[in-house]
Structure 1
Amino acid sequence: MEEKTCCVTGHRDIPDEQIDAVKYALRREIVKAVSDGYTGFMTGFANGADQYFAEVVVILQKDFPELRLIAVLPYWKRMDSLCQKEHTNALLDACAEVIVIQDEYRPNVYAKRNRYMVEHSDRVIAVYDGREKGGTVKTIRFAHQFRKELREIPVGLNLDKSRINLGQNRK
């Protein structure tokens, strides 16, 4: 049986007063994914939503040891910078697998990483504030393009309330 995989996309700059709510919402979405049969959880390990996602998966592995955290890094030097920080180094150590998209930095490497995660996932969890530019919205567009299930967690001050249900929980 092929593993069901879920990935995350989200902003790096989540307002401090919303971090706990985002972590709670990520936990709720990950537990829902586990109850839906997901065992693979992919993250690009950027600051913010990606690392909060990894933290929650690591905590949940205590109750669900079958969960696999998978790091998808854009290029090799990103691994070096993550390993220099105790917290992110510990999260990387908890990963069952680390995938590196390419050897060196190039301007489009983050888009390639995000596309890889969407293509190799069945569900995408997006921590999204409604902005129309940036990696998160591009990843949401990949999810639509590849017809992946999308679960949105609205966050931030830029959120247009009329957009909350746009694509949410869509398959």
Structure 2
Amino acid sequence: MKVVAVSGYKGHELGIFNQKHEGIRYIKKAIRQRIISLIDEGLEWVIISGQLGVELWAAETVYDLQTDYPNLKVAVLTPFLNQEKNWNEETQEYYQHILGQADFVESISKKEYENPTQLRMKNEYIIQKSDGLLLLYDEEKEGSPLFYLKPAKKRQAQENYIIVMITPYDLELIVEEEREAQQDFW
């Protein structure tokens, strides 16, 4: 797999409302583990749409990994122009910081937001441009990731399209591993 799309919940869907939340560290660690295993299988590009939450945390994770894997690249394919326009100033600055480090940035629709069709088109476009999807998702808690999962499953039914999930159980394992490591330390 050379190109993977990465998505998952928006921060608020996870009860995360700032960048200092402890849960982000565990989510990034899970993303890091999956990305490294995909690099070993030939991963070259990570695509996100610039959505707040898991997608931007994934970009930060890839930027950290680029020290050891300099050929790994990030593409941000936003659904429409100026998607951050109505975000608060701090969030816009964070978003611009992430975009500023990307290897490729482009808006799929060359217009500003008009209707939800642009979001659906973005999901379908990114699934078509990738070889697989890495998704943080809990099948018992629907939310925004479902809009990526549906076109990914449709494509998977037609051809070899890989879907890699990060589940709540995966995150629990990471939390447990860290707790055990801290206990061993003391």
Query: Fold-level match, TM-score > 0.5?
Result: yes
SS in structure 2 at match of 1:78:
coil
CA distance in 2, matches of 1:95, 1:30: 16
Deviation of the 1:14 alpha carbon: 2.3
Deviation of the 1:56 alpha carbon: 0.4
Q: RMSD in angstroms over aligned alpha carbons?
A: 2.3
Which deviations, in whole Å up to 9, do the C-alpha atoms of 1:2-35 show, x marking residues without a partner?
x810011210022445322211110001111111
Choose the corresponding residue for 1:96, options 91, 103, 106.
103
CA distance in 2, matches of 1:108, 1:136: 16
**Contact 1:40 1:69 survives alignment (8 Å):** yes
SS in structure 1 at match of 2:14:
coil
CA distance in 2, matches of 1:95, 1:21: 23
Choose the corresponding residue for 1:72, options 77, 80, 94.
77
Runs of 5+ consecutive residues of structure 2 not aligned to the other structure: 17-21, 170-186
Q: Choose 95-104 or 13-22, whichever is displaced more.
A: 13-22
Which deviations, in whole Å up to 9, do the C-alpha atoms of 1:141-161 show, x marking residues without a partner?
2111111200111139xxxxx
Query: What number of residue pairs does the alignment pair up?
Result: 154
SS in structure 1 at match of 2:50:
coil
| Structure 2 counterparts to residues 35-114 of structure 1, below 5 A | 35-78=40-83, 85-102=92-109, 103-105=111-113, 106-114=115-123
% of aligned pairs identical? Answer: 24
Q: 1:91 to 1:154 in 2, by over 3 A?
A: same
Deviation of the 1:81 alpha carbon: 6.1
CA distance in 2, matches of 1:79, 1:18: 23
Q: 1:72 to 1:65 in 2, by over 3 A?
A: same
| Structure with the largest fraction of helix | 2
Greater radius of gyration (CA): 2
| Structure with the largest fraction of strand | 1
Query: What TM-score do you get using the length of structure 2 for normalisation?
Result: 0.74
Which deviations, in whole Å up to 9, do the C-alpha atoms of 1:51-106 show, x marking residues without a partner?
11110011111111111100010111215568x63322121111111121111212
Deviation of the 1:114 alpha carbon: 1.3
**Contact 1:73 1:79 survives alignment (8 Å):** no
Runs of 5+ consecutive residues of structure 1 not aligned to the other structure: 157-171
